[in-house]
Structure 1
Amino acid sequence: MANVRFDTKQEEEIEYHTDSKSLNASLWTHKPDPSLGYGDTTTGSNLYTVLKKFLNNGRVSLCGAQVLIAVKRYPDESNVSDIITQLRANHVMVYIAVDSIPSGGSNSATLYEMSYQTNGYCAFATGFDLKWAFYCVTAIFGWPYQFLAQNFMVSGSGRIEIPAIKTPILPESTDMCIFAITIQNHTLDNSFVSMNHTIMGSDGYDVYKYPGDPLYGTAQSNGVASERIPLI
């Protein structure tokens, strides 16, 4: 486990931990602190510089790592294909919660690209919605075995049906499965009209229906308890 703050005037070192107690203590003593930031609205985030340091750390294994990022200042980079290639080569999944009201920087598109190219997801929101979106992102720690990720380009109106899937849950047992849907690769705008989805069991029983819970910015996430969860 590792944590680090970025976008500070004095760049901080990544801290590595072997137990959750140590990680938790470090997180509490390294809370976001605007007084340590750049103090302007023009400088882009150094997020990718810090991420490269993690990818080339030489101390811990990267394979299968899960990276969670909360972003207030946007990066300026328009091409991060080299980082994406390295992330994919190491099966690293990236989940990002992005504030729709940035404190600086110019390019949020690469954040979304990096997340979907690594089978993670990127949510744009602000205020309480941003807090909740990031909270939902952290659910991956409780249920870390992702077994489906798909992306669709859509326009107009229509319906998409995902083929039936079988969850990796033992027969005759029930466990929680987390799902998340994000829309648009930027802050929500008027081109989005509406969406609904249904999770249905193989016996035709509706396990979950949305609308129900609200969108938090561009994301909607929840959990369902079931033995079998094909998605429609």
Structure 2
Amino acid sequence: MFANIRFDVKVEEEIQYHSDIFSFNASMSARMPDASLGYNDTTTGSDVFNVLQKFLSNKQAPLCGALVYIVAKRYPNDKALRELITELRDKHIFVYIVAHDFRSGGSNPGALFEVADKTKGFCIFNSGVNFWISVSDLSYVNHRPYQFQSQTFNVSGIGRLELPVWQTPNPTQYSEQLLVVIIVQNHSLSNFISLNYTIETTDKSFVFVGPDQSSGWPRFGTGILAQPDLYGSTDYKWTIDYHYSNNEPQQIETRLYSNYYHDFLPLPQM
């Protein structure tokens, strides 16, 4: 089942539901962003959370485990998000967002990050020529739908994160292409100097480092999405070295996805 809607328009539109990918693609093509339909001011907040509420109330599409993808240039003004987040979490709905660094309106980009983070999705801030690369990269989740690691770390300054040893859900000893996601900040890039990571087997017979321009998995905006080939039934370590220019609090998100089934992970604290 598929659904789409164009939001932040003066004349509110209805969510379109589809039973096949072809009608979904046609509907998307017919409802591309159009600035002439928007609010034409910088103070009105995005109505994207109202759209999410409408989706939660729908009787046409199943909700449990739904993947919601949002492309936003206008930020919400909303601050009271607990009820919405609770409803999304109750249905195990994952929210994934790409937000433009240069807003067309609204005042609270943190609301976008919070809703994505608390539903175990992620939020990328980006702009310029690479913005639509970040949007396109969201589709990687469709091809690796089973999330088996999701953490958010509070950091500042310079340091290293060392994640506990882990294995993929792949029960075989063959390799599969995973989706590795790191979000380097919980807002548009600011005071950011660098973030590098290493995924390696505990015996160091395999080492994957990033973001690696030559491998085709660079950082775009605040998001790093990579697809390394990792083996099943193998112990891996993941270390992340970060460097910010001051000690202001930052948040780093890490996510791992596989083709092999994994049940829903425990939800993060509200």
TM-score by length of 2: 0.82
Identity %: 42
2:205 corresponds in structure 1 to 205
Residue 72 to residue 165, structure 1, CA distance change in 2 (3 Å)? same
1:217 corresponds in structure 2 to 221
1:195 corresponds in structure 2 to 195
User: What amino acid is aligned across from residue 59 of structure 1 in structure 2?
Assistant: Q
Structure 1 residues without counterparts, runs of 5 or longer: none
Q: CA deviation at 1:3?
A: 0.6
Preserved CA contact (<8 Å) 1:198 1:206 = no
Count of matched residue positions in the alignment of Structure 1 and Structure 2: 231
What secondary structure sits across from 2:221 in the alignment? Answer: coil
Q: CA deviation at 1:138?
A: 1.6
In the aligned structure 1, how far is the partner of 2:44 from the partner of 2:211?
39
In the aligned structure 2, how far is the partner of 1:5 from the partner of 1:225?
36
Deviates more, 1:35-44 or 1:64-73: 35-44
Deviates more, 1:65-74 or 1:134-143: 134-143
Preserved CA contact (<8 Å) 2:184 2:195 = no
User: What amino acid is aligned across from residue 212 of structure 1 in structure 2?
Assistant: D
More strand by share: 2
Over aligned residue pairs, what C-alpha RMSD do you find?
A: 1.4
What secondary structure sits across from 1:168 in the alignment? Answer: coil
1:55 corresponds in structure 2 to 56
Preserved CA contact (<8 Å) 1:124 1:186 = yes
User: What amino acid is aligned across from residue 24 of structure 1 in structure 2?
Assistant: N
Residue 132 to residue 229, structure 1, CA distance change in 2 (3 Å)? farther
In the aligned structure 2, how far is the partner of 1:200 from the partner of 1:218?
23
Greater length-normalized contact order (CA 8 Å, ≥ 6 residues apart): 2
Preserved CA contact (<8 Å) 2:211 2:224 = no
What secondary structure sits across from 1:186 in the alignment? Answer: coil
1:130 corresponds in structure 2 to 131
- The 5 A counterparts of 1:77-226 are 77-190=78-191, 192-213=192-213, 214-226=218-230
Q: CA deviation at 1:229?
A: 6.6
2:246 corresponds in structure 1 to none
In the aligned structure 1, how far is the partner of 2:79 from the partner of 2:182?
25
Q: Which runs of 4+ in 1 moved over 3 A?
A: none
In the aligned structure 1, how far is the partner of 2:205 from the partner of 2:103?
43
User: What amino acid is aligned across from residue 65 of structure 1 in structure 2?
Assistant: A
In the aligned structure 1, how far is the partner of 2:109 from the partner of 2:235?
33
TM-score by length of 1: 0.94
1:191-214 deviations in Å (ceiling 9; x for gaps): x22211001124413442024233
User: What amino acid is aligned across from residue 37 of structure 2 in structure 1?
Assistant: L
Structure 2 residues without counterparts, runs of 5 or longer: 240-270
User: What amino acid is aligned across from residue 201 of structure 1 in structure 2?
Assistant: T
Preserved CA contact (<8 Å) 2:98 2:126 = yes
